[in-house]
């Protein structure tokens, strides 16, 4: 938490839209690169992959978004936004050089200290890949790569045009220290890669669960069918992590909007182990 948010956690940090990029052919996903307007905010903003921020637009409201950039990419923050309703549509229309407010970093983030010295299996689907992108970029940074052993990434989208961060995926494909498997539900005439649903591709790749943590983020249906595959590969519940997406308001454990059982998803999560989720009421 920064000094500013310790004083007043509802006070947004002023940022500027440095760059806006349409990510997908259906134009439903847009990435915003935000720069800090105040040097002290840039210096004080410390986060871990898996955390999120509330982005606010005057007259429209605020909404939570996972941080897609890595802590190793200093000076700016990246968010990828799916056009869903009021705030997200406004974020799709916001122009470069416009000012915007953010509150954060919020939530717990991925337990990177647990991953140290282990293998990591990252499974992503759709636009939930944002915070996984943060995690992967963080671990691939030269200062951090030695922290974990093998990294396998399985990432799927419905169609090739809906894949995020295509240039970066192409660069990652060339790396020898990362096993990246990109898959789509339906290919097109130009698609030379894998075709298949993420849970089936996981079964095919069959990574060893020995000394391995799994992190999985994606649509509920993908997660539902992926968990049994991880069980079949003998991943213990406490070595599987996922990030929950609940309706949120305050983002800091005050309003009671996001709780599941005794947990506030915004404060105690959004990242939980499957061992924790197993003990919760099944309304997530």
Ligand X SMILES: Cc1cc2nc3c(=O)[nH]c(=O)nc-3n(C[C@H](O)[C@H](O)[C@H](O)COP(=O)(O)OP(=O)(O)OC[C@H]3O[C@@H](n4cnc5c(N)ncnc54)[C@H](O)[C@@H]3O)c2cc1C
88 near ligand X (CB under 6 A): yes
Q: Which is nearer to ligand FES, 85 or 228 (CB)?
A: 85
Residue 65: name its binding partner from ligand FES, ligand X, none (Cβ under 5 to 8 Å by kind).
Answer: ligand X
254 near ligand FES (CB under 6 A): yes
129 near ligand X (CB under 6 A): no
Q: Are 15 and 77 in contact (CB under 8 A)?
A: yes
Please give the span between the terminal C-alpha atoms of the chain, in angstroms, as a whole number: 27
φ, ψ for residue 48 (rounded to 5)?
-120, 150
Polymer length in residues for the chain: 284
Whole-number minimum distance, CB 41 to ligand X, in Å? Answer: 21
Stretch that binds ligand X, among 1-9, 13-21, 217-225, 244-252 (CB under 6 A): 244-252
Residues β-bridged to residue 263: 260
> Residue 165's closest CA among 257, 70, 249, 256?
70
Whole-number minimum distance, CB 196 to ligand X, in Å? Answer: 25
Binding-site member from 249, 268, 280, 284 for ligand FES (CB under 6 A) = 249
| Cβ-proximal residue to ligand X, closest one | 85
Looking at residue 269, the DSSP 8-state letter turns out to be -
Distance, in Å, from the CA atom of 125 to the CA atom of 178, rounded to the nearest integer, reads 18
Binding residues (CB under 6 A) for ligand X: these are: 52, 63-66, 80-82, 84-88, 127, 130, 245-248, 270
């Amino acid at each position: 938490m920064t000094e500013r948010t310790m004083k007043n956690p509802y006070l947004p940090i002023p940022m500027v839209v440095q760059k806006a990029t349409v990510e997908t052919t259906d134009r439903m996903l847009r990435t915003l690169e935000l720069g800090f307007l105040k040097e002290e905010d840039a210096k004080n903003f410390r986060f871990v992959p898996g955390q999120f921020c509330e982005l606010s637009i005057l007259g429209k409201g605020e909404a939570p978004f996972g941080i897609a950039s890595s802590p190793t990419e200093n000076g700016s923050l990246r968010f990828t936004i799916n056009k869903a309703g009021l705030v997200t549509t406004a974020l799709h229309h916001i122009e470069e050089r416009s000012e915007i407010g953010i509150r954060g970093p919020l939530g717990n983030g991925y337990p990177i200290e647990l991953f140290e010295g282990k293998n990591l299996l990252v499974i992503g689907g759709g636009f939930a890949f944002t915070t996984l992108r943060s995690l992967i970029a963080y671990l691939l940074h030269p200062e951090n790569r030695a922290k974990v052993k093998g990294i396998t990434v399985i990432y799927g989208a419905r169609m090739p045009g809906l894949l995020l961060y295509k240039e970066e995926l192409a660069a990652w494909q060339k790396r020898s220290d990362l096993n990246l498997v990109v898959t789509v539900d339906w290919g097109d005439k130009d698609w030379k890669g894998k075709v298949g649903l993420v849970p089936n591709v996981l079964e095919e790749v069959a990574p060893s669960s020995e000394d391995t943590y799994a992190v999985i983020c994606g649509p509920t249906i993908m997660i539902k069918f992926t968990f049994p595959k991880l069980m079949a590969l003998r991943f213990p519940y406490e070595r599987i992590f996922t990030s929950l997406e609940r309706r949120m308001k305050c983002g800091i454990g005050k309003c009671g909007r996001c709780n599941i059982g005794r947990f506030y998803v915004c404060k105690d999560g959004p990242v939980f182990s499957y061992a924790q989720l197993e003990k919760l009421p099944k309304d997530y």
